[in-house]
C-alpha cells in the first residue's frame, strides 16, 4: 500500500471482527513503527501488547471500573483543555454528534451514549489491545515522540490490511491497567490502541469526520 493510501484510509474503527492477528504480524508492525523519529533518538515509548486471556481479563476489569466506580478515576496527564473554545469545541461536537447519528443514537438518549462510551473498555471487540506508556520523568517533547510512534504503528497496520483505534479514554483507568499488566511504577499510561480487522457491516466504521481545508491551518511564506 502506498503511504498516501495508508494515511487516507486510516480511520478510527469502533467495531472489529474476532479474527486473530498472528504474533509475527504484530512483530512486523512494531519493527516498522520503531523507525519513528524522536528527539535525539531517545525512543521513549514502551508498548504492552495484550491478546487472548489477558485481554479478556483486562476488558472485564476496565468495564467493572467504568460501571462501578464513576468519577473515581483520573488520567495522570491533561489531554483536553479545561475550558473549550472555538473553533475546537465546534469540531469536537461535530465529531461526537456525527458518530452518534451514524449509530442512530439521539442526543437525549443518555443510556445509549453511555453504552457506546463503555465500548472503549472492551477495545471495541478488537483481538489486540496495545497499551502505550512513557517514563513519567520525561517531558512534553516525549509526548510528541510517542505520537509519531503511534501514527507510524497505525499506518503500518494499514499496510497489512488492518485497522485501529487510538484510545486516550483508557488513561484515567491507569490503576486498573497496572493491576492487570506488569508496568513499572515509572510508566505513565498514555493511551491504548485497539487493532484488528474492521467489521465491514458495522455502521460506525463508515463514519469519517470531516477534515479542515488547507486554508484553515496553513500559511505560505515566499
Instruction: Provide the pLDDT for residue 182.
Output: 87
Residue 137: φ, ψ to 5° = -80, -10
Superfamily of domain 3-210: NADH Oxidase (3.40.109.10)
| Alpha-carbon distances, residue 179 vs 32, 131, 183 (angstroms) | 30, 13, 9
Instruction: Provide the pLDDT for residue 1.
Output: 84
pLDDT band at 197 (very low <50, low <70, confident <90, very high): very high
Q: What rounded mean pLDDT belongs to the chain?
A: 96
Average pLDDT over every residue of 52-78: 96
Instruction: Provide the pLDDT for residue 145.
Output: 98
Rounded (10°) angle between helices 110-118 and 52-68:
150
Instruction: Provide the pLDDT for residue 10.
Output: 96
pLDDT digits 0-9 by tens, 121-179: 999 999 999 999 999 999 999 999 999 999 999 999 999 999 999 999 999 999 999 99
pLDDT band at 70 (very low <50, low <70, confident <90, very high): confident
Q: What angle do CA 194, 65, 180 make, to 5 degrees?
A: 60
Instruction: Provide the pLDDT for residue 22.
Output: 98
In the numeric block, the cell 478488537 is attached to: 126
Q: Which residues contact 131 (CB under 8 A, 6 or more apart)?
A: 47, 48, 50, 170, 177, 181, 189, 191, 192
Amino acid at each position: 500500500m502506498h503511504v498516501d493510501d495508508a494515511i487516507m484510509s486510516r480511520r478510527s474503527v469502533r467495531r472489529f471482527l474476532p479474527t486473530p492477528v498472528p504474533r509475527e504480524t504484530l512483530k512486523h508492525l512494531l519493527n516498522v513503527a520503531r523507525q519513528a523519529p524522536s528527539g535525539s533518538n531517545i525512543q521513549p515509548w514502551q508498548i504492552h501488547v495484550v491478546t487472548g486471556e489477558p485481554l479478556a481479563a483486562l476488558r472485564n476489569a476496565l468495564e467493572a471500573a467504568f460501571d462501578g466506580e464513576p468519577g473515581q478515576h483520573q488520567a495522570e496527564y491533561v489531554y483536553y483543555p479545561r475550558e473549550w473554545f472555538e473553533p475546537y469545541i465546534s469540531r469536537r461536537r461535530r465529531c461526537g454528534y456525527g458518530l452518534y447519528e451514524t449509530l442512530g443514537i439521539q442526543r437525549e438518549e443518555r443510556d445509549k451514549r453511555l453504552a457506546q462510551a463503555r465500548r472503549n473498555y472492551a477495545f471495541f471487540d478488537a483481538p489486540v489491545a496495545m497499551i502505550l506508556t512513557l517514563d513519567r520523568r520525561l517531558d512534553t517533547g516525549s509526548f510528541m515522540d510517542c505520537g509519531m510512534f503511534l501514527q507510524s504503528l497505525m499506518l503500518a497496520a494499514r499496510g497489512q490490511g488492518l485497522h485501529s483505534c487510538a484510545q486516550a479514554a483508557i488513561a484515567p483507568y491507569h490503576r486498573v491497567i497496572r493491576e492487570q499488566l506488569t508496568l513499572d511504577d515509572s510508566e505513565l499510561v498514555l493511551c491504548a490502541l485497539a487493532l484488528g480487522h474492521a467489521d465491514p457491516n458495522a455502521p460506525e466504521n463508515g463514519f469519517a469526520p470531516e477534515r479542515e481545508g488547507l486554508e484553515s491551518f496553513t500559511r505560505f511564506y515566499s
